[in-house]
Amino acid sequence: MRLMRLTIINIRRILKNPSIFLMTFLLPMIVLFGIVGPSSKENSLGKIGILDKSSGKYSKEIIESLSEKYDVENLEGNVEDSYNALRDNKIGVIYVFDENFESTIDSKSVPKVKSYSIESGMGSVIAEKIITDSINKILAEKINIGLSTNLVETVIFDNNEKENSGYYMVVLMICYFMIIGGSILTEDILKLKKQKVLKRTISTGNTDRTILGSLYLSSFIIQSLISILTLVLAITLFKIENYNLAQGFLAIALCSLMTTSIVVAATRWIKNQSMASLAIIMCGLISFGIGIVGSNLTGFKNVPDVIKYLSILSPFSWIGRIINNGEIIAPIIVIVLMSLALFTAGSFKLRDYVKE
């Protein structure tokens, strides 16, 4: 009962600090607005990629017609090289003009144009109409019969796997700011210690484990609840698709556990408030960068082996596995074990710490 009573008291005290609300709710929402908000989506919906292997006059005419309605990006290499652009919504759809596109029209035959996209949309429908009308117009000068009304052969790329890059970024950014927000909680605990509040609390009959346990438990609860609220609002306001709330809640709970354990270790071994906060911020930055690489190894080239191995120690790498791959058991085991290791290191000689 004493633990719960002190936890509630600490929750009320933490909520009076606007900094924690700013770091775990307001800043993530601002950053997410720029990444997955309406403005970012509008820019990508009007952009299409063209892979012109024919380099003939007919394909150039069609590209010019498309350029009147779309922001056209000319691609090179193979279409597979641009799959990441589709996944990240940097390009709405890719159209491929084969090497025989020019010769097929010259032989008075109807060519096929392949399109690659994550899913069909109004933007691709309009683009396909432009391509079809342009080909029919060119063929009309050569033949007068048998013109097709649908010359675009659409390939729905990765249709069996729901595209969730937006949801992935939302969860990852919320977890990132959660760890950064741990610096505020660290300063708060160290301030209580410096002001002898923790030492005086022991004199009331509370044990050292109850005192510090209530501080860390309140930190875990506050960060989890605010981050879950941020996740739900981000999904609603930014119209995130293909989300899984259960996976998101699990990722946030695990990250909150990890953040709390980092706070425990930082407050135990780093006496200076500024240095403790800086250590947590640097920990968040490094683990976030390594975790991004670890979760998307196929999207990066020439990644050093040491980065691949270090990514295993980043909670963001395991959170990425939860969101992207649907893995549950392994991420839970790894993050819980890492948290327990930090808790153990931070809880060493608690009574001496409180009395210092």
Those residues with Cβ within 8 angstroms of residue 296's Cβ, 6 or more apart along the chain or in another chain: 320
Please calculate the CA angle 346-349-353 and round it to the nearest 5 degrees.
80
Going along the chain, which residue ranges are E strands? 47-52, 71-74, 93-97, 113-117, 152-156
The pLDDT of residue 200: 66
In terms of Cβ atoms closer than 10 Å to its own Cβ (0-12, 13-18, 19+), residue 144 is exposed
Predicted TM-score (pTM) of this structure: 0.69
pLDDT tens digits for range 171-226 = 999 999 999 999 998 888 888 777 776 666 656 666 767 877 888 899 999 999 99
pLDDT tens digits for range 217-275 = 999 999 999 999 999 999 999 888 778 999 999 999 999 999 999 998 888 888 788 89
Pairing of strands 71-74, 93-97: unpaired
